[in-house]
Chains A and B, each alone.
Chain A
Amino acid sequence: MGYFGRRILGVIPVIMVTWTLVFVVLQIIPGDPVNLMLAGVPASEEVRARERERLGLNKPVVERYFSFLARAAQGDLGDSFRSRRPVTDMIAEQMWPTIELALGGLAVGLSLGIVLGVLAGIRPNGWVDSSCMALAMVGVSLPSFWIGMMLIYVFGTVLMWVPITGRGFDALVLPSITVGLFIAGGFARLVRSSIVEAMGQDYVRTARAKGLPRRKVVLKHALRNALIPPVTLLGIQFALLIGGAVVTENVFARPGLGTMLVDAVLTKDMPLVQALIVYKTAAYVVINAAIDIVYGIIDPRVRMAQNS
């Protein structure tokens, strides 16, 4: 079995642990799911009991735990308590807007982060470095919900350049910037320190001694070697974003998996919460395994270590 296959199989125990944890937490959360679903609508005890039976809530906890596992193994993650639809369908529907925002945010964050990081790193400790790092610090310190609202106010309400709500590319611009600004700060700092380190290496000195133009030295020799730590961060950020950006979705009233999870937790829609957690954990581990393969492409030394 290849390296990737082993990494993918390694996902299973992690998902098991996470799922058990979520199951336990959901048992502790106070409130009866049936009452939460009724949301104050009066119903006789008989109706409630029937509903509990339909949802399988009258069975002992241990039995529910194992029956879910058995069904999950066959790819059936159950139906939502509230919408009564298969949770896998519900997740699939919200997946695209979430991926859109994740990609948009990463595109903004990555390009901004790399530009700032490289500018800062090639001449460390100068004024360019200080200003770039100050900007990066601003990025990580901005509260997402505030900058989101400010962007809506300035570009949506006052200047009216982009629509505030809705779907499509135009409506994706402001949410992407909101997510991207936060990510850019982390990237910029990491790229800077990697570049500073790479610029001090022998091969960069050799490249310069050969008389290569500075731009070529930075882009081809230093940057490529400095990419490994930022690529790791890229993986982590993408994996987190693919689970949904709760705050940004909330501010821009966008659909997405983040909002879906918060709603599901608050209404105790257990099958949906469990399915979302399984999905998030799986995405996290799979993306990180994929990143390991990207390492091999960037740096052949890693590829050799993986194969041996």
Chain B
Amino acid sequence: MTAMAATPMPKQGGFRAIRFLRRLFLHPGAMVGTVVFAVLVLAAILAPAIAPYDWNETDAGPRLSAPSAEHLFGTDLHGRDVFSRVIAGGRYSISLGIATVLMSLMLGSLIGVFLGFTGGKIDAWGCRFLDVLLGFPAIVLAIMIVSVMGVGLVNVVIAVAIAGVPRFARVVRGAVLVLREQLYVEAARALGASDARIMRRHLLPNVASTLVVLGTLDLGNAILSTATLSFLGLGAQPPTPEWGTMLSGGREFMRYAPWTMIFPGMALFLIVMSVNLVGDRLSQVLDPKAKDRR
């Protein structure tokens, strides 16, 4: 990870950016991932236009009817069209995941840069604390946070984000430990730059590539965790067409109407898989140690 931090992101525009993108996407896994992700995101955005039925409309068809030409993925207990609900579900699951990652990324990198740059006792104690939190299953930590703040979508995002902070903080701190010994940091200090300026202008931009990789790799996790909390009844509440909530609703009828749980789960799996494929490739391309891999 530290080696990764030393490679700066390719400059915007010009030949390097194109070469970078070519390396990134001319890979079967990354290509499949990108296409699947794009399709699911587009479907979610265009849901009002392409969904054959209103996703909250009850009795759009007979209750719990099997997949057919009218209802591609069948209908649920209330006669709602499962296909429309799965498409609309992306709006929740994907945006919740992205919001979660952005939040833990921001908090984590602030803490990481601060600890790594300050060093000494504060760093040592801070790391101890982070290690304790890391030893905690993220989902249990998130459940505890939800129970403090109460059930709901926003709270689930905050909970999963906080549970993810230690991971980001730890990696960023490690990267900063290497970076702060660099000549340009010394030069900035010699020129009279304040600590805050060094952190903001010199350290943060240099951990950016690490953060991009880490953020992408974490997005799949974040989507899964928020959906899991909704599945456990702590996040989105029915009738919200969130995939985790739909799965928990379909659970009771899976004997008679398995389609109510197969399709939302499939969508969840596909989005997580596509994000993981892209994240995996991104870390290979940005990590100089992994150059031997195609």
A interface residues, Cβ below 8 angstroms from B = 14, 17-18, 21, 25, 28-30, 124-125, 130, 134, 137-138, 140-147, 149-150, 152-153, 157, 239-240, 243, 246-247, 250, 258, 261-262, 265-266, 280-281, 284-285
Interface code B121-144, partner A: CB below 8 Å = 1, 0 otherwise?
000000011011001110110011
Chain A positions within 8 Å of B136 at CB level: 18, 280
Q: Are A143 and B254 in contact (CB under 8 A)?
A: no
Q: Are A157 and B255 in contact (CB under 8 A)?
A: yes
The main secondary structure of chain B at its interface with chain A is helix
Chain A positions within 8 Å of B220 at CB level: 140-141
B83 at the A/B interface (Cβ < 8 Å)?
no
Chain A positions within 8 Å of B247 at CB level: 143, 145-146, 149
Q: Which residues of chain B (132-159) have a CB below 8 Å from chain A?
A: 132, 135-137, 139-140, 143-144, 147-148, 150
Q: Are A143 and B293 in contact (CB under 8 A)?
A: no
Total count of chain B residues near the partner, CB < 8 A: 42
A281/B135 contact (C-beta < 8 A), A141-B273, A143-B272, A153-B254 known = yes
B21 at the A/B interface (Cβ < 8 Å)?
no
Chain A positions within 8 Å of B280 at CB level: 137
Q: Which residue of B lies closest to A240 (CB)?
A: B137
B50 at the A/B interface (Cβ < 8 Å)?
no
A141/B132 contact (C-beta < 8 A), A125-B293, A247-B139, A262-B232 known = no
Q: Are B273 and A138 in contact (CB under 8 A)?
A: yes
Chain A positions within 8 Å of B292 at CB level: 124
B interface residues, Cβ below 8 angstroms from A = 28-29, 128-129, 131-132, 135-137, 139-140, 143-144, 147-148, 150, 220, 224, 227-228, 231-232, 244, 247, 251, 254-255, 258, 261-262, 265-266, 268-269, 272-273, 276-277, 280, 292-294
Given A145-B247, A261-B140, 9 additional A-B pairs, CB 8 A? A14-B135, A134-B29, A141-B272, A146-B266, A149-B247, A153-B261, A239-B135, A247-B228, A258-B140
Q: Are B140 and A243 in contact (CB under 8 A)?
A: yes
Q: Are B265 and A149 in contact (CB under 8 A)?
A: yes
A258-B148 Cα distance, complex, nearest whole Å: 18
Give the contacting residue for B135; candidates A258, A265, A284; CB below 8 A: A284
Chain B positions within 8 Å of A144 at CB level: 228
